[in-house]
Amino acid sequence: MKIGIGNDHTAVALKNEIAAWLKEQGHEVVNYGVDTEESCHYPVIGEKVGRAVAAGEVECAVLICGTGVGISIAANKVDGVRAAVCSDTTTAHLVKEHNNANIIAFGARIVGNEKAKDIVKAYLDAEFQGGRHATRIAMFEEIEKRNERN
């Protein structure tokens, strides 16, 4: 799978570890994040990754900042993005199964390296369940269309 990854300055080491681990499993990883710990602005990375996912450059993506929150808020501003912050594996598989999340986010200050890998694995192994959940995903798109009219 072609997977994007993006991070701010708080998450360089964790990004590198997750990217290497994904590559070991045969995934292609596209790095949209920063590679130094010099302070940067996480909305820039969140938007970049959100646009890459929305455009189909990558099938899904992993976003990491201090909490996972700021960078996911930025990504969610892009139409078609469903970025979900997860700190546990139950949420990680449910956001794929029910919300068809196309970006998973977490915080380098919140989860350790092994938990982060467990979260990404739970997300990648899960499948969207469709049905009533697809009806609700379509409602997200309707909200985006109403925004365009304003």
Q: Is 67 helix (H, G, I), strand (E, B) or coil?
A: coil
d(CA 55, CA 74): 16
Catalytic site residue 40? no
Report angle CA 36, 37, 39 to the nearest 5 degrees.
115
Least distance from C-beta 68 to ligand RB5, angstroms?
A: 7
Least distance from C-beta 46 to ligand RB5, angstroms?
A: 9
Least distance from C-beta 130 to ligand RB5, angstroms?
A: 32
Pick the binder of ligand RB5 from 52, 60, 61, 65 (CB under 6 A).
65
Kindly name the residue from 9, 65, 86, 93 that is annotated as catalytic.
Answer: 65
Catalytic site residue 65? yes
Pick the binder of ligand RB5 from 34, 60, 70, 103 (CB under 6 A).
70
Closer to ligand RB5 by Cβ: residue 72 or 100: 72
Beta bridge partners of 106: 64
H helices, E strands: number in the chain: 6, 5
Least distance from C-beta 115 to ligand RB5, angstroms?
A: 17
Q: State the alpha helices, DSSP H only, in 55-131.
A: 69-76, 89-97, 113-125
Closer to ligand RB5 by Cβ: residue 73 or 126: 73
Position 8 contacts ligand RB5 (CB under 6 A): yes
Pick the binder of ligand RB5 from 32, 42, 106, 123 (CB under 6 A).
42
d(CA 77, CA 22): 26
* Cβ atoms of 61 and 89 closer than 8 Å: no
Sign of CA pseudo-dihedral 7, 19, 1, 129: negative
Residues annotated as catalytic are 65, 98
Which residue ranges make up the site for ligand RB5 (CB under 6 A)? 8, 10, 42, 65-67, 69-70
